[in-house]
Each structure stands twice: as C-alpha cells, then as structure tokens.
C-alpha cells in the first residue's frame, strides 16, 4: 500500500457541486499539505496542517476548505466547484523532526469541473 493515499484518483463533476478529496497516510508524519498543480504554474499550496488543531491557509485557499480528522487524515473540500478549479490535486506529508521540509506526495487526484 502507498504511504500517502488519495481518493478519488479521478473525478468529473458539475459547476456548483460539493466535492471532497481525501488523503490518508501511514508515514506517521505530523504535517500534511494540499497542493494544486496547473500546467505552467507548478504546485501551489492551498492549505497545510502541522497537527490536528493547527490548520493554515496557503497561497490559494479561496474556494477551498479542509478538515484534519486525525493525524493520518486530511481532506480538502470544494463547497461549490467552479471550472477554474479543474486541476491535479496533491496531498503531501512531512515530519517536523527531519529538520527540513522534505515532502512525501500522494499519486494525485485529477478533478474536472464542467
């Protein structure tokens, strides 16, 4: 099994629908992140969480919300999806004891909003 598992891997939805992307990890890491990847823009940080009670906005949090249900689970929600949220979404984890921000990534969730 993968260390960082994202579900669903692919999702097609319509404008205005609520969507949840889920992430779970078996690394035992305390930090979790959600990134969005768009062609030519690289990865941009949406939200990050350093523990269950510590959630922070990233560069592009508007239109998104997150929930850290447990140390191992971090979900991303789009309350009312819009077409420009069509992208590849990555969950990542890291361990603060490593001394540097070395991330372990999931395989990605491709979201298409029609």
Partner 1 sequence: AQSVTQLDSQVPVFEEAPVELRCNYSSSVSVYLFWYVQYPNQGLQLLLKYLSGSTLVKGINGFEAEFNKSQTSFHLRKPSVHISDTAEYFCAVSDRSARQLTFGSGTQLTVLP
Cα gap 32→76, rounded to integer Å: 11
CB proximity list for 59: less than 8 A, separation 6 or greater: 44, 45, 46
Q: How far is the CB of 16 from partner 1 (least distance, A)?
A: 29
CB nearer to partner 1: give 69 or 101.
101
Q: Which residues sit opposite 104 in a β-bridge?
A: 93
- Site size toward partner 1 (CB under 8 A) is 23
CB nearer to partner 1: give 40 or 84.
40
Whether residue 4 contacts residue 27, with contact meaning beta carbons closer than 8 Å, is answered with yes
Cα gap 28→6, rounded to integer Å: 16
Which one of 7, 11, 45, 63 is in contact with partner 1 (CB under 8 A)?
45
> Does 14 contact partner 1 by CB under 8 A?
no
> Does 93 contact partner 1 by CB under 8 A?
no
> Does 66 contact partner 1 by CB under 8 A?
no
Which one of 26, 69, 82, 107 is in contact with partner 1 (CB under 8 A)?
107
Q: Is 3 left (phi over 0), alpha (psi -120 to 50) or beta?
A: alpha
Q: Which residues bind partner 1 (CB under 8 A)?
A: 4, 35, 40-45, 48, 50, 58, 90, 92, 96, 99-103, 105-108
């Amino acid at each position: 099994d993968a260390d960082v598992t994202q579900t669903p891997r692919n999702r097609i939805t319509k404008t205005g629908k609520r969507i949840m992307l889920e992430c779970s990890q078996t690394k035992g890491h305390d930090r979790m992140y959600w990134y969005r990847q768009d062609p030519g823009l690289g990865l941009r940080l949406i939200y990050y969480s350093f523990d269950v009670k510590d959630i922070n906005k990233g560069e592009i949090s508007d239109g998104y919300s997150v929930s850290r249900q447990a140390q191992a689970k971090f979900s991303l929600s789009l309350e009312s999806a819009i077409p420009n949220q069509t992208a590849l979404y990555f969950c990542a984890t890291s361990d603060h004891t490593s001394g540097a921000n070395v991330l372990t990534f999931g395989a990605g969730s491709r979201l298409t909003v029609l």
